[in-house]
Structure 1
Amino acid sequence: MRPVCTTRQGAVRGTVSADGTASFLGIPYAAPPFGPLRFRPPAPPRAWSGIRDATAHGPTPPKAPYAPPFDALVPETTIPGEDCLNLNVWTPSPGPGARLPVVVWLYGGAFTNGSASPSAYDGGAFARDGVVFVSPNYRLGADGFLHLDGVPDNRGLLDQIAALEWVRDNIEAFGGDPGRVTLAGESAGAISIGVLLSDPRARGLFHRAVLQSGAAHHVLRPETAGRITAHLAGKLGIAPTADAFAAVPLDRLLPAQAELRKDIATGPDPALWGEAVLNAMPFEPVTDGPVLPGPDCGVDLLVGSNREEYRFFLVPTGRLHRLTEEKLRSTAEAYGLDPDKALPVYRDARPGAVPGEIFDAMVTDWFYRIPALRLAESVPGSHVYEFARRSSAFDGRLGACHAGELAYVFDRLDDPQYAPVTGHAPPQALADAMHGAWVAFATTGDPGWPAYDTRTRPTMVFDDPAPTVAHDPRARERTLWDGIR
């Protein structure tokens, strides 16, 4: 018999899988963000009568496809339709009373791509292990993050807050405990959480957080965001206003916004792009600058990164062995490092490495690892991890790259959408350990290793043949960034 749960907007009917867990897909948590609601805060969803079928994923937010070669590496699903502010729920116990821990998942995609629909983000393994899993869509690109006068910034973050409010108001009907919500995300999803940790509108809506390969450092100041708006408007030949952007057909707007990263790469002028020139991300949360939460943020943290994050961007494109010493040195300087002092430190641990391999290590630190450590340092009791299992993909050169941990966290090593990144024969024992740690953290706040402190810096390293705790891994490289990042 198909399960039925009742939300504040109406009843929904889901499906039951072979292992007995239930899923409810495509449930609206906000009204369609089009027409008079375009570029506006999310509005409440419309109620319905009867029982709504929740057996298929709903529409996805508008986005351009990933550019090659990343379109073959990253799971992506596009489902047309305006009712894109919807979410999915997986639960082992549909109906009130169970009060199970809840995980709310925010996908990555550089704030221009991604959705909650790929099979890679199926929450069945979490439900199997006693966790109610929720995955919302949120607005991307210009609709979600373009800085426009007269409308609120960070509409994609407002969508995430609206989804969390839906969880607060409705998740008990699906067997969840609204007082035990873990907000988890990867890449742009984790960066979103880094901002929400200091947003008073989100306070109390989640109680634990998992930040994978993203923290609180990647934001755009309003003046930089305004320059990006002007550039995109000029590309489209329109005024830089919300009404003008709303009048542009999506088949023109989406390719234009996708070209912005290429524009930054081909003309990396800080006078034009501001701080976006350092990470080539024209769409990010708009704030007055990075803000780290204090010890009183009221949220338990599990935060970390992958050992060779930036290989994801260097290896498939062939840049790993084309990158020059000149580019390596100029990037170090742009980050505030002295290349004559910093680069030898990175080379000492990687004898014989080509410039691209040193570039990966340095950019991985700047973009991912150091922000994660700064976040852990700011909230006592945080737990820190590093994913170090090297993939066999691209003849082993892809390494422990960006997004490499996702198949293990979701315990979906057999999902073909992960195969291009995980490579051959990913170890199930590592998925058992990593997925188990995430479930334990969502359930108790303790993933199974000591909390981080600035004296011993314990870090769980997820690698073959078994995860181990390391104390202050690559300390010399970490200290290069003191006072800089």
Structure 2
Amino acid sequence: MKILKILLLIILLSSIDSCISISSKNVKRRLFNNEEDIVSTKDGLIRGIVVKDHRVFYGIPFARPPIDELRFEDPIFPRVWKNVKDCTRQKEQCIQNCRLGNGACSQVGTSEDCLYLDVFVPRKSDITNSSLIPVLVVIPGGAFVQGTGSCLLYDASKFANSSIIVVNINYRLGALGFLGTDLLSGNFGFLDQVMALQWVRSNIEAFGGDKNKVTIFGESAGALSVISHLVSERSKNLFQRAIVSSATFTLGLKTKSQIRGISNGFTSKIGCNIEDIDCLRSKSPEEILKAQDQVANVFRGKLLDIVTVWTPVVDCDIILGQPLTMIRDGILVNNVPLIIGETKDEGNLFVYFNFQKKITQHKYRNMISLMFGSNSQMVLNKYPAPTSDDGDNKGDCRPILSKLYGDYVFRCPNRYLINRLLTQNNKSSSSSSPVIYHYQFRHSLSSGNPIPYCSGIVCHGSELPLIFNTYESAMNFELDDDEIQFSQDINRYWVNFISNGDPNKGLSSSTMIDWSPITKSLNNSLIMVPEFQLNDIISIDGRCNLFDKISYRGYTKKNSKLCPS
């Protein structure tokens, strides 16, 4: 009898446990199916915000916090959580001294615990199980030492309202992201980006997104990151389209020897042996930022080095070569449709920020000599120094240096990359060269620019608030009616490309024109001004021909090598 009672008790407890389990599953299913602010990811349930036209999920962890013993380690997938995670507030940006301005810096501060992403999603009524929607992943720029996806500039409400899911990511910056020694690869920040893309692949369908229709987009250091993903095996099949805005090709990635030298300088400033990881992990974020600034001061005045002291590393494992070198050899691991472009006056921001006083002819010639060596006279012939009575410049060489820098670092390597991709097939596959759309952004906003040396010209990054339609909310710009339409049209080109791999197929307006891809026989680029134009600005260009000949910092020379296979 006693045994029978025990058996009955066991059966009763099992039934209760089974009911609880079924009830939990039903709750989870009910939340996912009926409540728009709840999404079930592979790691657990999350709660976001529902507004009139879209939903937002802030601060979703895609990796464990890279703190304590995980500092200077490759990212690790996050732990599964049991309760519904609150994703209604943005997380802090990665450790940095952000000088990009209010709209491009986080409003909630910094933290070493920063490997989170924000997801902007259309309302559920716009999504059906049979119609998964395209995805844009935004990799923020900032010279690999500042910047965040969690800022007003990248608010993706406009995209979400156009049936695009946008994922804004963060990654470790500066020494925390790219410290390289004999023991450390220096690619923690780049691997953070890869893990964020893996998170998208594993989880985006829970938001109604199409994991096979992912576009990656970056500007400046974000664009150099995108190009690095194009040539990295680690990123294979994680995206299907790419947008490259103002990539710093010529500045390039650091080699193992270069990053070790920079890391050695950093560790000596912070008071640690370069291989003493315990010492490096004991230092505060404030000490790390101070040492970073001290290392940057060593490069002050060296334009090709000061802008990107820290970068991903050609470590012969994660990244096998300089992107320009790999593209020179036709090695494109991810052979996807591309939008690639630049602004008209890329160099001004960098030259005037680093040289507050005018540059004399003598100093200018010395700088050209240091940058180009035996080829300096040919460069000076194309970019001559102004005389003391030369118009408004009055002997100041910053304007001509800005033009040279913009051409050498941005515009001409874009042209080189396009031409190489069009003339070579991918060596690792039998597929043809990717479809390429090229643009040049030439419009100076009527509201002006808060940066004095960008007023009236088209500085680096000028197109970003128009692409995202955040010119008012993030930058406090007041546009006229034509400019508002211009911003909407640029956003439509992006939405169409993200959706279809073709900027012309999809949303349109009467002010848009057909944006032809560049082919071997047609070199039309989209000139981005309020009345769009198509012009050939690639075929005939003596200055870019010169740089093609003398190479971009040696990356495209015949004797430049990739890592041994």
> What TM-score does the superposition give when structure 1 sets the normalisation length?
0.89
- Three-state SS of the structure 1 residue aligned to 2:56 is strand
Shift of 1:162: 0.4
- Three-state SS of the structure 2 residue aligned to 1:482 is helix
Tell me what 1:385 maps to. Answer: 439
Deviation larger for 200-209 or 87-96: 87-96
RMSD between aligned alpha carbons?
A: 2.7
- Three-state SS of the structure 1 residue aligned to 2:548 is coil
Residue number among 213, 223, 229 corresponding to 2:246 in the alignment: 213
- Three-state SS of the structure 2 residue aligned to 1:153 is coil
- Three-state SS of the structure 1 residue aligned to 2:340 is strand
Shift of 1:232: 0.9
Residue 49 in structure 1 maps to residue 82 in structure 2: yes
Aligned letter for 2:343? N
Structure 2 CA distance for partners of 1:74 and 1:316, relative to 1, 3 Å: farther
Shift of 1:78: 4.7
Tell me what 2:322 maps to. Answer: 290
Distance 1:43 1:398 in 2: 46
- Three-state SS of the structure 2 residue aligned to 1:182 is strand
Q: Which residues of 2 match residues 338-377 of structure 1 at below 5 A?
A: 338-346=375-383, 352=391, 354-377=396-419
Residue 467 in structure 1 maps to residue 532 in structure 2: yes
> Percent identity, aligned pairs only?
28
Is residue 266–residue 291 contact of structure 2 (8 Å, CA) maintained in 1? yes
Tell me what 1:457 maps to. Answer: 523
- 1:138-182: CA deviation from partner (whole Å, max 9, x where unpaired): 111111111133233311110011000100000011111000000
Distance 1:253 1:48 in 2: 31
Distance 2:168 2:518 in 1: 28
Is residue 9–residue 48 contact of structure 1 (8 Å, CA) maintained in 2? yes
- Three-state SS of the structure 2 residue aligned to 1:115 is coil
- Three-state SS of the structure 1 residue aligned to 2:204 is helix
Residue 154 in structure 1 maps to residue 212 in structure 2: no
Structure 2 CA distance for partners of 1:343 and 1:423, relative to 1, 3 Å: farther
Aligned letter for 1:49? K
Shift of 1:395: 7.9
Shift of 1:398: 5.5
Residue 28 in structure 1 maps to residue 58 in structure 2: no
- Three-state SS of the structure 1 residue aligned to 2:372 is coil
> What TM-score does the superposition give when structure 2 sets the normalisation length?
0.77
Shift of 1:440: 1.1
Moved over 6 A (4+): none
Structure 2 CA distance for partners of 1:96 and 1:158, relative to 1, 3 Å: farther
Shift of 1:443: 0.8
Tell me what 1:446 maps to. Answer: 502
Count of matched residue positions in the alignment of Structure 1 and Structure 2:
468
Shift of 1:296: 6.2
Distance 1:215 1:377 in 2: 17
Structure 2 CA distance for partners of 1:318 and 1:144, relative to 1, 3 Å: closer
Tell me what 1:333 maps to. Answer: 369
Distance 2:211 2:441 in 1: 30
Is residue 38–residue 246 contact of structure 1 (8 Å, CA) maintained in 2? yes
Is residue 254–residue 312 contact of structure 2 (8 Å, CA) maintained in 1? yes
Tell me what 1:79 maps to. Answer: 109
- Three-state SS of the structure 1 residue aligned to 2:160 is helix
Is residue 118–residue 169 contact of structure 2 (8 Å, CA) maintained in 1? yes
Shift of 1:239: 0.5
Distance 1:8 1:114 in 2: 28
Distance 1:326 1:76 in 2: 41
Structure 2 CA distance for partners of 1:147 and 1:154, relative to 1, 3 Å: same
Tell me what 1:410 maps to. Answer: 468
Distance 1:298 1:343 in 2: 37
Deviation larger for 37-46 or 144-153: 144-153
Distance 1:330 1:317 in 2: 16
Structure 2 CA distance for partners of 1:388 and 1:76, relative to 1, 3 Å: farther
- Three-state SS of the structure 2 residue aligned to 1:30 is coil
Tell me what 1:229 maps to. Answer: 263
Q: Which residues of 2 match residues 224-303 of structure 1 at below 5 A?
A: 224-241=258-275, 242-265=277-300, 268=302, 278-287=305-314, 289-291=321-323, 292-293=326-327, 294=331, 297-303=334-340
Is residue 41–residue 152 contact of structure 1 (8 Å, CA) maintained in 2? no
Structure 2 CA distance for partners of 1:41 and 1:317, relative to 1, 3 Å: closer
Distance 2:332 2:67 in 1: 39
- Three-state SS of the structure 2 residue aligned to 1:332 is helix
Tell me what 2:510 maps to. Answer: none
